[in-house]
């Protein structure tokens, strides 16, 4: 069996398939390149009135597989203002079955089958813009086409966690990726590292890393001297948990609708002495945030207090809404 060591610490997918040669990748419809003024580099632009008719597909041959085993999928992109886009990831699970994970700002709600997960993507807006004010007043951000001031975004999707929680399946590898109009795309990556945008990446030359780390230059966006990465760009994470933790799912609560209201507005009923919207200091500062949107969508919010799960003060339990079900997790570290 061939070694997978070459995939660490991460795989630059566009570079891996030499996407611009279109020998191992395919394009359809209005796909072009341009130099983005903010990023100061060439990016791909995918446009079209029907998203499914304009796309970039890797690999080109549907009978082949990318064979990428990294747990985390990173996409550096910007939704086209006023338009809709779709991204499809076909991933292999145990026994070779293929599951499609899709996210789009066209999806109104989360849907799932045994072989397909569809997540709504809620587009954020630039800081201090009129669209940002609108997003803050809305419970779950801006639904539908992206606002004019939509920013470049780094989306991180935890494939292992997503398949485990939503389908109770074991993640194996990424088989193919299809980026459909309308969006601009800098690149996409897979990695076993939970990488932190805006931080400098130090390569010790070994090629192997573990845990969390800063984001390599080609995986991030440029920041002017003295500027803040998070003031210029969005970083969106799917639900994650610490690698060292073993999670035991307990039974759903009897009244999921009522409890969902309590969690999204914790001051109404929950006792502050028992639960907090952020993990306690005892769990460490490695980013143990369980970031779950109550509608199972990917979104970015300035004030995340209502979008995160509720933790017990002791740090051994977390409660969050998952679509129509309330999930209680017992954490064993």
The helix (H) or strand (E) run that includes residue 160 is helix 159-167
The answer, as to whether pTM is greater than 0.85, is no
Using CA atoms, how far apart are residues 196 and 125, in angstroms rounded to an integer?
21
DSSP state of 306: T
Q: Return contacts of 220-223, CB within 8 angstroms, 24+ apart.
A: 220/76, 220/154, 221/38, 221/39, 221/76, 221/152, 221/154, 221/186, 221/197, 222/38, 222/39, 222/40, 223/198
The closest of 112, 115, 113, 138 to 125, measured between CA atoms, is: 138
Reported as half-sphere exposure (CB side, CA atoms, 13 A), residue 173 has a value of: 13
Series of mean pLDDT values for 10-residue runs along the chain (333 residues): 79 96 96 96 96 97 94 96 96 94 93 95 61 41 78 94 94 98 97 81 47 77 90 84 36 33 33 40 40 48 50 69 64 55
Q: What is the 3-state secondary structure (H, E, C) of 94-118?
A: HHHCEEEEEEECCCCCCEECCCEEE
Tokens at residue 24, please?
Answer: 């191992």
């Amino acid at each position: 069996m061939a070694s997978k060591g070459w995939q660490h610490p991460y795989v630059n997918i566009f570079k891996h398939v030499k996407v611009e040669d279109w020998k191992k990748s395919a394009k359809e419809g209005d796909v072009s390149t341009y130099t983005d003024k903010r990023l100061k580099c060439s990016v791909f632009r995918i446009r079209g009135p029907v998203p499914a008719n304009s796309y970039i597909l890797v690999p080109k041959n549907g009978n082949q597989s990318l064979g990428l085993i990294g747990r985390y999928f990173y996409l550096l992109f910007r939704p086209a203002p006023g338009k809709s886009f779709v991204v499809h990831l076909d991933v292999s699970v145990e026994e070779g079955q293929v599951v499609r994970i899709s996210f789009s700002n066209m999806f109104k709600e989360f849907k799932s089958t045994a072989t397909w997960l569809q997540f709504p993507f809620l587009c954020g807006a630039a800081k201090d813009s009129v669209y940002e004010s609108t997003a803050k007043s809305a419970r779950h951000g801006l639904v539908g086409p992206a606002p004019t001031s939509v920013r470049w975004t780094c989306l991180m999707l935890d494939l292992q966690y997503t398949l485990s929680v939503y389908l109770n399946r074991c993640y194996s590898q990424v088989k193919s990726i299809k980026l459909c109009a309308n969006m601009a795309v800098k690149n996409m990556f897979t990695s076993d590292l939970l990488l932190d945008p805006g931080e400098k990446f130090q390569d010790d030359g070994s090629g192997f890393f573990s845990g969390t780390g800063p984001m390599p230059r080609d995986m991030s966006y440029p920041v002017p001297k003295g500027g803040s990465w998070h003031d210029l760009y969005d970083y969106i994470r799917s639900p994650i948990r610490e690698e060292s933790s073993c999670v035991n799912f307990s039974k759903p609560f009897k009244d999921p609708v009522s409890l969902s209201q309590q969690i999204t507005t914790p001051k109404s009923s929950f006792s502050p002495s028992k639960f907090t919207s952020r993990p306690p200091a005892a769990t460490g500062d490695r980013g143990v945030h369980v970031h779950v949107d109550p509608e199972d969508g990917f979104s970015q919010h300035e004030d995340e207090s209502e979008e995160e799960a509720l933790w017990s003060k002791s740090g051994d339990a977390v409660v969050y809404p998952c679509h129509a079900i309330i999930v209680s997790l017992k954490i064993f570290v």
